[in-house]
Amino acid sequence: MEKVERNLMEPIGEVNLQATKMDLSNTAKKVQAKIENFLVKKGYLLVVVGFLLGRALILSKLTPFGLPFFAVVYLLKKDRAPLALVGLIAGAATISITNAASTFAITFLFMLFYQATKKWLKNEAKGLPIYVSLILTAGKLAESFVTTKDLSLYDGMMAVVQGCLAFILTLIFMQSIPLLTMNKRKQSLTTEEIVCLIIMLASIMTGTIGWVAYDLSIEHIMSRYLVLVFSFVAGATVGSTVGVVTGLIFSLANVSSFSNMSLLAFSGVLGGLLKEGKKIGVSAGLLIATLLIGMYGEGSGSILLTVLESTAAIVLFLLTPKSLTSRLAKYIPGTPEYTAEQQKYMRKMRDVTAQRVAQFSTVFHALSQSFSNSGEQDDFEEEDRELDYFLSNVTEKTCQTCFKKEQCWSKNFTKTYEYMGEIIHEMDQNTGTVSQRLSRDFDKYCTRSKKVMDVIQQELTFYQANQKLKKKVMESRRLVADQLLGVSEVMENFAKEIQRERENHHKQEEQILEALLEFGIEIENVEIYSLEQGNVDIDIVLPFGNSHGECEKLIAPMLSDILGETIVVNTETGFNKSNGFCQVTFKSTKAFVVDTGVAHAAKDGGFVSGDSYSTIELGGGKFAIAISDGMGNGERAHIESTETLKLLQKILKSGIEEKVAIKSVNSILSLRTTDEIFSTLDLAMIDLQNAAAKFLKIGSTPSFIKRGDRVIKIQASNLPMGILQEFEVDVVSQQLKAGDLLIMMSDGVFEGPKHVENYELWMKRKIKELETDDPQEVADLIMEEVIRSRSGLIGDDMTVTVAKIKHNTPKWASIPVQKMKRRA
């Protein structure tokens, strides 16, 4: 008994409310999907819409809705046209049997006439409204003649009015009916499509005129419900538009409903303004509008009835699933759901693009690996294999027909092989000759020694040419591998840049706008693209031109104080008289700037120098200074040095890393000519944000940094470009400071002074004795000192570049305002 009681006291199990909630949600989604499938995909929604439009009236007499509706469905969805016709005839039958017969006859006349003349139509969509207008006008005239046996001017005017209305309604339905029948919607709705949709929905609801439930008018409930939905989804503008359009159409259908238009418009405005309160706020807007407008009614009974109708509309609105309103909001521009949908689409496109770029990067990386691995073989095995091939060619032409073949290659293989190898080695090293000792020994050993040596020398010529060609091929492979690897890295970085999502800076935009307005500067709009340190990008639209320098004198200094870094005017579109606005882009300025000076001279005072120099403004806040010295002097050396710098400049600007760029230039120079033409390269890369410098010296002379009374030497040991294919670039890093002078020179300047034992000490002393810090003056003075030391003679091409590092001081000081926080 105790055991039974204990079992009864124990809990049977837990109730999983989360799972129950999910089951209910899934069930609701399934029911919604089935309803949507029945109404939209199978087309039975057209029966309902046709029924309401079939009984819709204008001025209590005109029925212009039926034929335009059927004609548009017949054009767009011919297989669903019978459903639309059934609905129209059923709706018309609720007015009168005569009206149903007239609807069927006019529809049949349209199909007959349309099918007979369709082959002459070039554009069916453009011709349809005219067909509908003419057929409906003719049909209504025929109907009046049949029923009254006479045609009056009034009947003719009413028929023409219905024809004109049918023309307009056909155009409207052609825009709006696809929104009901197509399962796949467009990305967004245009303003015209939204208005057409509203007119169509209002026209459909006119079919409910005269329906009453518990003394409540169905038309009033449905019209207010429509206003509630659009006010909640799209705000006051669209809500008031829906109210006005719906009220206008209802008043055309029934003149007594004219006073309802003000209620609908007012409730649309109030509901839209209170949409931040969600459905309760929008509902409160309708109730307030109902009470205010109801004061003009006829007594308390009328107010009570109007309030009850609004309450019924609110109940329907509250019961509307969120999924329906969210889906509608996705297609109306300006709504948060539409913005989210657009961002989702753009994010998807961005991810797809980044993925494709990353795939290309992977392909290039794989190709680079393939070219690199194809040359990685065991050198010893390769040499043995090539020696075997070489000896097989020699023996085929000499030993193959010798009577001592068996004795040499079978019984004494090792000794014969060693003799052959030694002869090949000495001929290769001594340009085709062998030592007398080896020649004498081999004559004793081989009966055909002279012929064997001649064949070896002949084959050696082919072998050396083959080795040279193979070396060129290997160098080409390495060059292609390096280039592909560099491209792969650039594309990988580009893919990462694409995937960087633009941050939302709404709060910061409001803070900047408020700060500028408080200062008295009139601003139309502020849009922030980036607040990253050193990479700020802000667009400001001004309602005036920048004729007095307001942007650089006021706005940029204020932004500098707000953001804590120097901001300057980057671009300005100029005042546009058509819209009255001027757009200005503000960006971060660099923390440092570089002033440069150059002095150069050709050998013996000639016009063409073998030295070339370049100052390169790279992206990402980097500044490069380069000097290249081609081997020798004159035009050939000038061409080599110029080509070196041009190649380097293009490769660096593409975003490829400095080391890879220099290796690529070196490979190209070594491959493109068989002449012994080499170039030196002296490259300095300066980061303008922190003044950090990287020096890459390829066969070049030292550089010097003058910092006050100190002179710092920068030196690296690398051979000139084009001599070796494989070499490691020695990179020297140095932190520069404001006021530093960076002095770079070619060997003609560094080694130019005559009767000087230690060039380095002489150059340091001359730099230290300089009393000026102007870059151009420094370059001229160093050049002058070197030429004076040679008694005015210029013994080699000379180039000096001097760069002065300075803090970037803005022209206008920052204006203190309230600070703002950057988005993390």
- Would you place residue 23 in the very low, low, confident or very high pLDDT band (cuts 50, 70, 90)? low
Helix pair angle (658-671, 634-653), 10° resolution: 140
Lowest mean pLDDT among 11-25, 282-296, 379-393, 522-536: 11-25
- Would you place residue 492 in the very low, low, confident or very high pLDDT band (cuts 50, 70, 90)? confident
pLDDT at 706 over 90: yes
What would the mean pLDDT of 746-755 be, rounded to a whole number?
86
**Which string of DSSP letters, residue by residue, matches 708-772?**
TTEEEEE----PPBTT-SS----EEEEE--TT-EEEEE-HHHHT--TT-S-HHHHHHHHHHT---
What would the mean pLDDT of 175-190 be, rounded to a whole number?
65
Rounded CA separation 389/467 (Å) = 13
SS3 content of the chain, % helix, strand, coil (to 5): 60, 15, 25
Question: What is the structure's pLDDT at 15?
Answer: 44
What would the mean pLDDT of 573-579 be, rounded to a whole number?
64
> How do residues 712-738 score in pLDDT, each as one tens digit?
998 876 655 555 555 556 778 899 999
pLDDT at 371 over 90: no
CA–chain centroid gap for 452, Å, is 70
pLDDT at 800 over 90: yes
- 802 pairs with which residues across the strands? 597, 743
Torsion angles phi and psi, residue 402, rounded to 5: -85, 140
Question: What is the structure's pLDDT at 221?
Answer: 87
CA–chain centroid gap for 611, Å, is 42
Q: Who wins on pLDDT, 793 or 575?
A: 793
Lowest mean pLDDT among 112-121, 231-240, 583-592, 795-804: 112-121
> How do residues 268-309 score in pLDDT, each as one tens digit?
888 888 888 888 888 888 888 888 887 765 444 478 888 888
Rounded CA separation 508/369 (Å) = 47
Express as a percent the part of the chain with pLDDT over 90.
6
Q: In which element (H, E) is residue 54 found?
A: helix 45-54
pLDDT at 822 over 50: no
pLDDT at 19 over 60: no
pLDDT at 158 over 80: yes
Question: What is the structure's pLDDT at 816?
Answer: 67
Cβ-contact 656, 492 below 8 angstroms: no
Burial 746-756 (b: 16+ CB within 10 A, else e): bbbbbebbeee
Rounded CA separation 537/570 (Å) = 9
Q: Three-state SS for 585?
A: strand
Question: What is the structure's pLDDT at 265?
Answer: 83
pLDDT at 803 over 90: yes
- Quote the pTM value: 0.52
pLDDT at 5 over 50: no
**Which string of DSSP letters, residue by residue, matches 270-291?**
HHHHTGGGHHHHHHHHHHHHHH
pLDDT at 526 over 90: no
> How do residues 208-232 score in pLDDT, each as one tens digit?
887 888 888 888 888 888 888 888 8
Rounded CA separation 759/789 (Å) = 12
Question: What is the structure's pLDDT at 273?
Answer: 86
pLDDT at 146 over 60: yes
Q: Three-state SS for 615?
A: strand
Cβ-contact 766, 588 below 8 angstroms: no
- 733 pairs with which residues across the strands? 694
